[in-house]
Structure 1
């Protein structure tokens, strides 16, 4: 008698932390995501960057934000730089 096992469908791994988003003042399409439990990198000075908003796990990702790349960036650098890929897109709160 054979046994049939059913696997649960794979689902995309969601964001598991809240990121603080910072926007570059000279290039507004460039953002930096820093997990809220990490220190803010020194290059995010108020003259060149401004705080945009918190990106919570339940929030929709901005265009250009890649979950897997964010995890790798944070793992190696402590932050994740990304570019908004749709010029018409706004970061909805």
Structure 2
């Protein structure tokens, strides 16, 4: 049975982009160089947003499918099935990467 996580409040579920282990020319890259550049991910799911003191919902600033810039540290790592994800708050996301 596959498990699905639906984030609450202003939390965002992100799958980190895996850095390539080979260059375009076929040269193997060292793990330390590849791992240090993993600072982006794809938004898998978002919560509805945070709430003000009056109870109004403040929607999250990203949507499913967005490629986002992530902080070097932070988030809550979790594993669903065979895939690994990280759960961030909306204000932890640094920006949206456009193509």
- TM-score by length of structure 2 reads 0.30
Whose strand fraction is larger, Structure 1's or Structure 2's? 2
